[in-house]
Homo-oligomer: A and B are copies of this chain.
């Protein structure tokens, strides 16, 4: 009982900070996306290619990347000329709004069009922690199997978009795109679904178009 109460208090405090963050993003016309997946689904690689596509453009972008122990991801993401901060959770299995607020304060000052937050690799715990984002984006690699939307429904229910990633591996797996799509829609009828790959067709075309549309909406709100 005490454990449940503490968890509820933690989540209430998190929601309070997340609401502050969301209001700040809204005031400043910043699109904030929270990327969630299992370890190794390809979040960092997708971010790298996304930053590469955005580099040289007019968008002001920053990245916060969560990890339990290392700062490898920020090192990978720094190359594209945008600020990237590592959030090392020191054992905690998810990011929370206070960690995001602190890391935001460490970014160079100035307006942002896009804040990409890469959560800790975990398909379970990050789902419960609102970071003030406009949308959660869940990534599912086809190497993980098509049963994940029903086995881990919480994140698929809360995500606006699912990236079906590593489509290049499809010929070597038993993954059914139809089953994954149907099951994701069973837990979340409104979820949008885009197929992606970092090493072959269809590339990130669909994801980048979705991102551009969201940036356009956010600039106009």
Chain A residues within CB distance 8 Å of chain B: 2-3, 6, 9-10, 38-41, 67-70, 72, 91, 93, 120-125, 141, 143-145, 147-148, 150-154, 166, 168-169, 172-173
Contacts and interface: CB of A to CB of B under 8 A. Distances in A.
A141 B9 CA distance: 37
Most chain B CB atoms below 10 A, which of A38, A40, A67, A151: A40
A143 B68 contact: no
Contact of A123 (B121, B141, B151, B169): B121
A121 B38 contact: yes
Given A68-B124, A151-B67, A151-B68, A40 B141 contact: yes
Contacts of A121: 38, 123-124, 151-152
Contacts of A67: 151
6 contacts: A39-B123, A39-B144, A70-B150, A70-B151, A93-B122, A121-B124
